[in-house]
Amino acid sequence: MIAPPAAHGSTFGVNAHVPSQAIQDQVAAAGIGWVRIDVVWGLIEIHRDTFDWTRYDSLVDDLEARGLRIFATLQGTPQWATSGSEFSGVPTDPDDWREFCYVVAARYRGRIDAWGFWNEPNLDHFWEGTRTQYLDEILLPGIEAVATADPGALLVAPDLAHLSSGDWDDWLAQVVDDAGPLLDVVSHHVYPSNGTAGDVTDKLAEGGSLPWEPPAVREVLDDGGWGDRPFWLTETGVESDAYGQTGQAAFYQNLLGLWFGSARSHDWIDRIFFYEMADPSNDPTLSWGILEAPPGLEPKLAYFAYSDFVATAFVDDADVSTSDLPPFVGSQQFLELSFEIRNTGSTTWTADAGYHLSLAVDDIRWEAEVDPLPEGAPVAPGDTALLGGTLQAPSSLPVQAPRLVTVEARMELAGARKFGSGVRHRLVLTAREPPAVTSQPAPAIAPVNGSARFAVTVADPAATAYQWRRNTVALADDHRNTGAATSVLEISGVGFDSLGDYDCIVTNAAGSIASQPAALTLAGPPIRRPADRIPGELPGLLRRWLEFRRVRPAFAADAAQREAAAPAERSSPAR
């Protein structure tokens, strides 16, 4: 048994945008474990291929130093990348977004716990494109890029606004259908129409009683097959100016009690993020924070209500990890697995109490077994247990097409539901010989306008197809790249837009795998500093972003109240 230092309340989080050190100190002092931050494309890639990492390098360092876990929402189109509006416009070239996702996730690999993909894309204010554009040009390529760059991080989406005017239920159903197999967590935003915790709970769990009224979130998730997989409520809250500090504190106490208290009536929110930590300093009309605006940051009553609940709550939470699941499994292959499970909650686990690791495959022909928790060895909060497990694959014939299956491991309490963050891994069952890279590409260094070369070697070249990528963006032969669909990629005229990580997707009749990435960097001292091209731009960008981002809660609350006052108008009462 491994016993690291005690962690903050891992189930409980808060929205903080791009928080100052003083705000971070207050988060940590409250015992809140998670912080949702805005990782804004337009604040990092100020101009194409010109990155300024200063703000986010410091932010990640500071949050880590305070023991806070990070949920980073990628969002915010820079003006250079869209013909639409800054921050909400559709990228002119979707590969620009894919590459940004890869670059930022690679930079903070292993340091960001969870990545999200846009904020409330079902509202025109935040996303000017269609639902199909969000799925095809933002969510799916973003997931692929981040999963490649930071495979240990959680993938979270879609953070929709719970507004009928935003067709939240249709959006959520399509996201679960199209991207569900690739996601670790479904996330959603629900604000009360009347300032009460009961209204939020009704929207999540009960839904309307009339056929034309919108369904509950739970109904949409169940219809989409999400079942008991992880769900995060990533925005909720009320304003202290509208309901008073006492009313705001009561909302926190009641919602936490309904979902995480000893007499809880519901238990399927795995993580909650209240909106927000502090009121803005530049807009006295907004009062969603549980701290007064800076520089004072005086705690409101809701701050103490949240802190007191976190300090005394008994909640189950866990992180599960393994590195033993391969991309391909052969006919009747037997796998021996090792799982590391950390107790990130506030309860102590024992086998006698019914705590165990659940290991399942979405194909009933597989046999899965996992060791129980050791008898007489309780797993206390902060402790880590190591458990063994096995998988037995069914038989498969070479004439049968490869079959994609999903393996999931997650902690469970007998008689209750699964809880915490688990392992979700997709692998291919096939009797065919899978592709194998026998020699990986090596890093390359080249001067400006110089040349570079990357190569892979595979076990069976005659039966293999190749596709080279830069930062997960597929390459084609052009004036600069030669051999993009062969085992050797030649690059000429190296420039700043050539730099990055190169890998090769190799494919045969069994499926595809990616080689290890190899970096191309410039030789010699840098000939340009990012700041040389952006004097004075950064403060204005951050100010514009915060003004843009903080429009949302007031807008959503007003819209929610309007929708509560009048029945939703729907062309067809589908539910």
Q: What is the pLDDT of residues 35-87, one digit of tens each?
A: 999 999 999 999 988 899 999 999 999 999 999 999 999 999 999 999 999 99
The pLDDT confidence band at residue 261, using thresholds 50, 70 and 90, is very high
User: What integer best gives the mean pLDDT of the chain?
Assistant: 91
* Residue 165 phi, psi (nearest 5): -65, -20
Q: What is the pLDDT of residues 104-160, one digit of tens each?
A: 999 999 999 999 999 999 999 999 999 999 999 999 999 999 999 999 999 999 999
pLDDT of residue 10: 85
**CATH topology match: 328-429 vs 437-522:** yes
CA 143 to chain centre: 9
Residue in the structure block whose two tokens are 């410039």: 522
Give the residue ranges of DSSP H helices in 261-294: none
CA distance 357 to 355: 7
Residue in the structure block whose two tokens are 């200063």: 54
**Opening angle at CA 144, ends 483 and 92, nearest 5:** 75
The pLDDT confidence band at residue 571, using thresholds 50, 70 and 90, is very low
CA distance 56 to 19: 10
Tell how strand 32-40 and strand 318-321 pair up: unpaired
Give the residue ranges of DSSP H helices in 45-196: 54-65, 94-107, 131-133, 140-149, 168-179
**Opening angle at CA 298, ends 292 and 303, nearest 5:** 80
Q: Is the dihedral of CA 561, 565, 571, 575 positive or negative?
A: positive
Q: Which tokens hold the place of 239?
A: 């304003």
Give the CATH number of domain 437-522: 2.60.40.10
* Polymer length in residues for the chain: 575
Give 227: exposed, middle or buried? Use CB within 10 Å, 0-12, 13-18, 19+: exposed
Tell how strand 355-361 and strand 403-413 pair up: antiparallel
CA dist list (Å): 518 to 423, 438, 443, 491, 507:
27, 15, 5, 14, 19
Grouping H, G, I as helix, E, B as strand and the rest as coil, residue 231 is: strand
Q: What class does CATH assign to 328-429?
A: mainly beta
CA distance 265 to 432: 50
CA 474 to chain centre: 23
The region of weakest confidence among 234-238, 299-303, 552-556 is 552-556
pLDDT of residue 128: 97
Element at 359 (helix H, strand E)? strand 355-361
CB neighbours (10 Å) of residue 447? 12
The pLDDT confidence band at residue 532, using thresholds 50, 70 and 90, is very low
Q: Is the pLDDT of residue 554 over 50?
A: no
Domain extent listing, the chain: 11-312, 328-429, 437-522
Does domain 11-312 sit in CATH 3.20.20.80?
yes
Q: Which tokens hold the place of 472?
A: 């997960």
Q: Which tokens hold the place of 150?
A: 């930071």
pTM of the model: 0.92
- Which amino acid is residue 565, in one-letter code? A
Q: Is the pLDDT of residue 6 over 70?
A: no
Pair 320, 411: CB distance under 8 Å: yes
CA distance 230 to 419: 7
The pLDDT confidence band at residue 373, using thresholds 50, 70 and 90, is very high
